[in-house]
Amino acid sequence: MEDTQPVATLIDSTTSKIKELQKAFTELESHRAITLNLKWKQLEEHFHGLEKSLKRRFTELEDQEKEYETKTMEAWEMLEKREADVMAKEQASLERLQEKRDAAVSAIANAFQKHRKISSGEPAAITNEDQGGSPSVEEKPPDMMAAESNLDDMKKTSEKECVEVMCYPQLVNLCRAMDSEGLHKFISDNRKNLASIREEIPLALKAATDPASLVLDSLNGFYCMEVSDLDGKKDSNLLGLRRTCIMLMECLSILLANLDHSSVSHIISENVREQAKAVVEEWKPKLDDLDMDANNGNSLEAHAFLQLLSTFGIDSDFDQEELSKLIPMVSRRRQTADLCRFLGLSDKMPGVINVLVNNGRQIDAVNLAFEFELTEQFSPVTLLKSYLNEANKVSSPVKKGNTSPSVQNEVNERELTALKAVIKCVEDHKLEALYPLDPLQKRVLQLEKAKADKKRAPEVAKPQPKRPRANGVGHGPRVTNAAADKNFYARTTDRYPQYMYDRPYVYPGPTDNHVPSLLGSAGYAMPPGHGNFFRNGFQYQAVQASYLH
């Protein structure tokens, strides 16, 4: 309203301005021989009309402003009322949630006390007050005493950790019984809950009389003699067993990391180290037979070998140059960076990254460059662009030639996989500012649209059945131009679901075995070019084999 006051003042001053104009017009008329009364009346009517129009419009605007202010106040009042209602409901919900939380904590605490007495073998106090004697304690059997001595560290853990063990008390029983086969079977039967089981295994291992020997015993079936190397890559039961072996070794490492030096020395004794070295000597020759799957950066055999050295602390018996040659075989696995640090291979990472780059595995190289802070030496954007350029070199000759639809579909699928891998890598490492994703995403949409359009392509019409005429004599016209029913595009093979424990990087990889064997004496081979990684097609599987036992 304050802004309208100058406008109102100007409108009120129009009358005085008109009078002044009339005086000037009269003075002008006195100097002329011809009268101007008629013209002045027209001008006066015109100005008065403008004055009335402005005043009417001004009044309308004032009314609209008052109406707007009224509606605004009503809206603010309604918002404040709703906000108060929401806060009241939120407070009531918090109070109810707190009550439920208190009740749940109380129930968990009671259950934990009961479970701790059962699992740790706490004696029950037998009072003889009625007989006039002092309270006595039942004697424990020798095996119970041994189990309790191994559970001393477990009792020192936080209440939250102990409550988590309650979810799978069978793990404690299996570890206490040193039953490695039963432990494998239990993990296999409950593989859908593998993430929660993995969190409880380090605590359950404390119940074992010899946790390290239990883990070593679980490795017996890692190399099944009844299965050939080729069949082993396809045997889901053997793959699941190998993943379980790796997980148990990692869980033992977690247990050891939370203990002091004396406790670690007690668990990893010299006898246990000798047993672990015997396993290493048995596994080492088998690494020479690793096929192209090892070059995909997801080799379970190489991962288990490195994890065995790390968990039992026997890596000092091996040359770091030899161990670094195994890293490209496990570069896609999420534990690779931690294994390299624990085995003291951080200084070897520039050479490993060079090997990956020269073999067309630039995305592996980018991931390791970020893990070991080598991005200045190995530019991530340059590596990713090189990866896409090599993918385009493969698809360009095919696109120009007169190829069949199936070959073109395969080429498009390879390009789509490469684009998605680069996009994911850029997003994971937040490189959008250095490598804009809009062109890549547009190309992905084009390829996916073309793929969807081809799937919706109509099939050739099927033959129509014969129909009798209306009068029951003869038959209808025979269809002669219908082709037999056939599927133009074969159904893609079903892939196994993602194994919950493994988190490899998903992108296409090489087919040629460029990684030297463990026992080879030659150093890293660094050819001048990037190699022919894309020549024989992408061999990386977008999803790993199922975790099945």
Q: What tens digit of pLDDT does each residue of 274-305 get?
A: 999 999 999 998 888 776 555 678 889 999 99
241 located within any domain: yes
Give the list of residues 6+ apart from residue 218 with CB closer than 8 angstroms, or none: 180, 183, 184, 244, 245, 248
* pLDDT in the model for residue 53: 87
Q: Check whether residue 84 and residue 178 sit in a common domain.
A: no
Cα–Cα distance measured from residue 34 to residue 13, given in angstroms and rounded to the nearest whole number: 31
Proportion of the chain above pLDDT 70, given as a percent: 66
Greater pLDDT, 439 or 396: 439
409 located within any domain: no
Greater pLDDT, 91 or 455: 91
Proportion of the chain above pLDDT 90, given as a percent: 36
Q: Check whether residue 20 and residue 110 sit in a common domain.
A: yes
**Residue 141: how many CB atoms within 10 A of its CB?**
9
pLDDT digits (tens, 9 = 90+) for 325-335: 999 999 998 89
* pLDDT in the model for residue 370: 94
pLDDT digits (tens, 9 = 90+) for 93-147: 888 888 888 888 888 888 777 766 655 544 443 343 343 444 433 444 444 444 3
Q: Check whether residue 11 and residue 100 sit in a common domain.
A: yes
Q: Check whether residue 15 and residue 107 sit in a common domain.
A: yes
Q: Check whether residue 39 and residue 105 sit in a common domain.
A: yes
* 176 pLDDT higher than 90: yes
271 located within any domain: no
181 located within any domain: yes
Record the tokens describing residue 290, joined without a space: 């690793």
* pLDDT in the model for residue 38: 58
**Straight-line distance from the first to the last Cα atom of the chain, in angstroms, rounded to the nearest whole number:** 80
Q: Check whether residue 91 and residue 184 sit in a common domain.
A: no
238 located within any domain: yes
Cα–Cα distance measured from residue 489 to residue 538, given in angstroms and rounded to the nearest whole number: 20
Q: Which range among 49-53, 75-79, 147-151 has the greatest average pLDDT?
A: 75-79
Query: What domain range includes position 108?
Result: 7-114
Q: Check whether residue 87 and residue 170 sit in a common domain.
A: no
pLDDT band (50, 70, 90) for residue 37? low
Q: Check whether residue 16 and residue 109 sit in a common domain.
A: yes
Under a CB-based contact definition with an 8 Å cutoff, are residues 79 and 86 in contact?
A: no
* pLDDT in the model for residue 110: 80
Greater pLDDT, 368 or 525: 368
- Last residue of one domain, picked from the residues 75, 90, 114: 114
Q: Which helix (H) or strand (E) holds 125?
A: strand 125-126
- Last residue of one domain, picked from the residues 51, 85, 114: 114
Could you give the residue ranges of the DSSP H alpha helices within 166-316?
169-176, 180-189, 194-204, 211-217, 229-232, 236-257, 261-267, 270-283, 292-295, 300-312
Under a CB-based contact definition with an 8 Å cutoff, are residues 359 and 512 in contact?
A: yes
80 located within any domain: yes
Tokens 């439920």 sit at which residue? 100
pLDDT band (50, 70, 90) for residue 498? very low
**pTM exceeds cut of 0.95:** no
250 located within any domain: yes
Domain count, the chain: 2
Greater pLDDT, 32 or 74: 74
Q: Check whether residue 106 and residue 171 sit in a common domain.
A: no
- Last residue of one domain, picked from the residues 89, 114, 139: 114
Record the tokens describing residue 117, joined without a space: 């007495």
Record the tokens describing residue 5, joined without a space: 């006051």
Greater pLDDT, 316 or 245: 245
* pLDDT in the model for residue 429: 94
Selection from 431, 499, 535, 418 nearest residue 195 by Cα: 499
Average pLDDT across the chain, whole number: 75
The one-letter code for the residue type at 240 is G
Q: Which residues of 268-291 are buried (b: 16+ CB within 10 A; e: fewer)?
A: beeebeebbeebbeebeeebeebe
Q: Check whether residue 85 and residue 173 sit in a common domain.
A: no
Q: Check whether residue 13 and residue 109 sit in a common domain.
A: yes
Q: Check whether residue 110 and residue 170 sit in a common domain.
A: no
* pLDDT in the model for residue 130: 41
* 532 pLDDT higher than 50: no
Mean pLDDT, range 499-515, rounded to an integer: 46
* pLDDT in the model for residue 288: 81
Alpha-carbon torsion, ordered 15, 18, 23, 25, to 10 deg: -170
Could you give the residue ranges of the DSSP H alpha helices within 401-494?
405-428, 438-455
Specify the range with the lowest mean pLDDT, choosing from 214-218, 255-259, 529-533: 529-533
56 located within any domain: yes
Under a CB-based contact definition with an 8 Å cutoff, are residues 178 and 217 in contact?
A: yes
Q: Which range among 33-37, 376-380, 463-467 has the greatest average pLDDT?
A: 376-380
